[in-house]
């Protein structure tokens, strides 16, 4: 094998890590914001306990385990048992923070969350890593349908934070909320984005981050980061796009969304939803249903993952392929605006 070919192969392997950071090169990040926030919260509240199904290291809960070993419970690879035990903890007056992968909570432990936790409206906080397309390991690990699965469950709040700053603020808000919460967790080195906008999480509220006269994007999770990047890129081309961040998917902040969409109708702006989730059953459909019920009918489009089992591979390649990269968003928005 020639030296040049060897270098090419090494480069391809290096850039094709199956689980990779979603941060762009040179983008500021914070390590394990969930783990650090939970440790800080537990220093203030002795009712906080941490529980996981053999995934403490991969959900940043290992920081809690190191700080409070007597309040940490490793339940093994048994997600149904994990959720049932968390319900028992809540009944005894504790506030358990439970972690696993989003696919395991939504697909494998659904009935246990529904019957043991949600029906009883217990104070269990479920934080799940690898939401949507944040891993390249294929359908077995890609939770592209978790919001759709959980949106129909009564009593369950659903939160999809954007970045490290928001995660650190969401954790204490989850603990204060009375009832079960499901949070899509970004782990490891998480991008830091919202600090530039003076953002502060307001429980249950969507917030406008920037205005735009041609279109507005209503987004959640990492797609708010991508929406902001796309808006900056489009601004250089004379296209002004606003961004409204909606971290809470259920209950949806209908008042803010109706206000923003109503202004879009008045000024003939395009309304776009953007989510790291299947086009079926997530934020986009929740927003669309809200608008239809209230007779607000702007031009409307969705940026989302397809209703399909996705491929395995490197995240940058997959994000381009399935339309949720910044570059893909810019191209698609320009097509819609020119139509």
pLDDT tens figures, 117-159: 999 999 999 999 999 999 999 999 999 999 999 999 999 999 9
Strand-pairing partners, residue 272, are 217, 301
Place of tokens 């209503």: 218
Mean per-residue pLDDT, 90-97: 98
pLDDT digits (tens, 9 = 90+) for 216-225: 999 999 999 9
Region 318-330: what's the mean pLDDT? Answer: 98
CA dihedral 92, 96, 100, 101 (to 10 degrees): 120
Mean pLDDT confidence for 56-61: 97
For the entire predicted model, the pTM comes to: 0.94
pLDDT at position 318, please? Answer: 97
Asked if 73 and 99 count as a contact pair (C-beta separation under 8 A), the reply is: no
What pLDDT score was predicted for residue 20? 59
Nearest to 323 by CA among 279, 259, 292: 279
* pLDDT digit string, tens, across residues 242-295: 999 999 999 999 999 999 999 999 999 999 999 999 999 999 999 999 999 999
Give the per-residue pLDDT at 25. Answer: 85
Tens-digit pLDDT profile for residues 5-30: 444 443 443 444 445 579 988 899 99
Distance CA 240, CA 236 (A): 9
Neighbouring-strand partners of residue 219? 245, 274
Q: Is the pLDDT of residue 99 over 80?
A: yes
In angstroms, what CA-CA distances link 214 with 84, 197, 267, 289, 303? 49, 21, 8, 23, 17
DSSP for residue 194: G
């Amino acid at each position: 094998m020639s030296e040049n070919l060897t270098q090419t192969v090494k480069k391809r392997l290096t850039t094709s890590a199956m689980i990779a950071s979603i941060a762009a090169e040179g983008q500021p990040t914070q390590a394990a914001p969930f783990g650090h926030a939970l440790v800080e919260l537990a220093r203030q509240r002795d009712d906080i306990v941490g529980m996981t199904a053999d995934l403490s290291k991969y959900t940043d809960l290992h920081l809690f385990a190191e700080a409070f070993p007597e309040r940490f419970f490793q339940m093994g690879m048994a997600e149904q048992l994990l959720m049932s035990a968390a319900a028992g903890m809540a009944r005894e007056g504790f506030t358990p923070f439970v972690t696993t992968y989003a696919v395991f909570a939504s697909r494998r432990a659904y009935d246990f969350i529904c019957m043991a936790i949600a029906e009883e409206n217990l104070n269990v906080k479920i934080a799940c890593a690898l939401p949507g397309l944040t891993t390249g390991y294929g359908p077995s690990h890609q939770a592209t349908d978790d919001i759709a699965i959980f949106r129909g469950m009564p009593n369950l709040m659903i939160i999809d934070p954007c970045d490290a700053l928001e995660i650190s603020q969401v954790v204490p808000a989850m603990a204060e909320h009375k009832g079960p919460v499901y949070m899509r967790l970004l782990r490891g080195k998480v991008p830091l984005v919202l600090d530039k906008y003076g953002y502060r999480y307001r429980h249950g509220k969507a917030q406008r981050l920037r205005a735009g006269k041609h279109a507005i994007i209503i987004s959640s999770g990492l797609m708010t980061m991508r929406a902001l990047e796309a808006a900056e890129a489009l601004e250089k081309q004379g296209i002004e796009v606003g961004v409204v961040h909606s971290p809470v998917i259920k209950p949806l902040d209908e008042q803010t969304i109706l206000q923003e969409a109503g202004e879009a109708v008045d000024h003939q702006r395009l309304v776009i939803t953007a989510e790291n989730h299947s086009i079926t059953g997530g934020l986009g459909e929740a927003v669309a249903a809200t608008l239809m019920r209230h007779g607000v009918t702007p031009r409307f489009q969705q940026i989302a993952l397809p209703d399909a089992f996705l491929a395995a591979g490197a995240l940058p390649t997959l994000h381009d392929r399935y339309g949720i990269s910044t570059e893909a968003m810019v191209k698609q928005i320009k097509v819609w605006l020119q139509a």
